[in-house]
């Protein structure tokens, strides 16, 4: 019997099980508790997400990497892309132009991920989550609350692309997830990027 819901992506989803790269981390235990209370206690869930992953990593995992489930889940939830933008940003030195330039190849890889899931799991519904608002210079505590920032327009462009990808296939849906986090990034995220338990509650 397959899972009810499979979660596939990066750290935003891995934190739902209270781990970072597979290892438990006490500072996010409350995120796992929130996930259990809101979702996991009601459904048979599995989180296949890796902190730091790019769209290219996830694409490899579901194609050559052997991560594609052998049994059909009912729903696959995908959240990916933030690390691609961070890499394009180069520590906030490149600015909005470089972020916008990264959007088109990012969307191409996400479309390939969606097509891979659809081909291998034809009866599963896919839920493509929109990227959440995030800080730009997140490593500077006083910058974590700044919104709008250099990511605002690129994130909007990515989310518009995700919505367009979902519109092609009736088995794929788009959800604008976590938009309520802005302009309260310091209240609802731990570092300007990752939701706290309260942030996850708000985003579900």
Fold of 5-203: Rossmann fold (3.40.50)
**What is the rounded distance in angstroms from the CA atom of residue 111 to the CA atom of residue 128?**
10
Q: What is the pLDDT of residue 92?
A: 59
Confidence of residue 144 (pLDDT cuts 50, 70, 90): confident
Would you call 175 exposed, middle or buried from its count of C-beta atoms within 10 A (0-12, 13-18, 19+)?
Answer: middle
Closest CA to 150 of 98, 83, 87, 202: 98
Q: What are the tens digits of pLDDT across the range 88-108?
A: 987 655 689 999 999 999 999
Tell me the per-residue pLDDT of 146-190, one tens digit each, with 9 for 90 and over: 899 999 999 999 999 999 999 999 999 999 988 888 888 988 998
Q: Which uninterrupted H or E stretch holds 126?
A: strand 125-129
Whole-number percent of the chain with pLDDT over 90: 71
Q: Phi and psi for 119 in degrees, rounded to 5?
A: -70, -40
Q: What is the mean pLDDT of the chain?
A: 92
Give the residue-averaged pLDDT of 124-147. Answer: 91
Distance CA 89, CA 100 (A): 10
Write out the H or E segment, with its range, that includes residue 2: none
Given a cut of 90, is residue 25 above it in pLDDT? no
* pLDDT reported for residue 9: 97
**Which tokens sit at 29?**
């235990």
Q: For the ranges 40-54, 97-111, 138-152, which has the lowest average pLDDT?
A: 138-152
């Amino acid at each position: 019997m397959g899972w009810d819901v499979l979660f596939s992506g990066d750290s935003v989803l891995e934190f739902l099980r209270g781990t970072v790269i597979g290892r438990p981390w006490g500072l996010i235990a409350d995120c796992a508790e929130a996930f259990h209370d809101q979702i996991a206690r009601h459904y048979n869930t599995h989180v296949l997400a890796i902190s730091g992953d790019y769209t290219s990593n996830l694409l490899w995992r579901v194609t050559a990497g052997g991560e594609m489930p052998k049994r059909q889940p009912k729903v696959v939830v995908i959240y990916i892309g933030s690390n691609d933008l961070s890499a394009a940003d180069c520590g906030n030195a490149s600015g909005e132009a470089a972020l916008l330039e990264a959007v088109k190849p990012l969307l191409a890889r996400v479309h390939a991920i969606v097509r891979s899931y659809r081909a291998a799991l034809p009866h599963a519904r896919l839920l493509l989550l929109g990227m959440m608002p995030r800080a730009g210079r997140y490593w500077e505590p006083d910058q974590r609350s700044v919104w709008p920032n250099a990511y605002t327009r690129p994130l909007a462009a990515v989310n518009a692309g995700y919505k367009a990808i979902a519109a092609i296939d009736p088995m794929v849906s788009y959800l604008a997830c976590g938009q309520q986090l802005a302009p309260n990034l310091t209240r609802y995220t731990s570092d300007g990027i990752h939701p706290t338990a309260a942030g996850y509650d708000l985003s579900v």
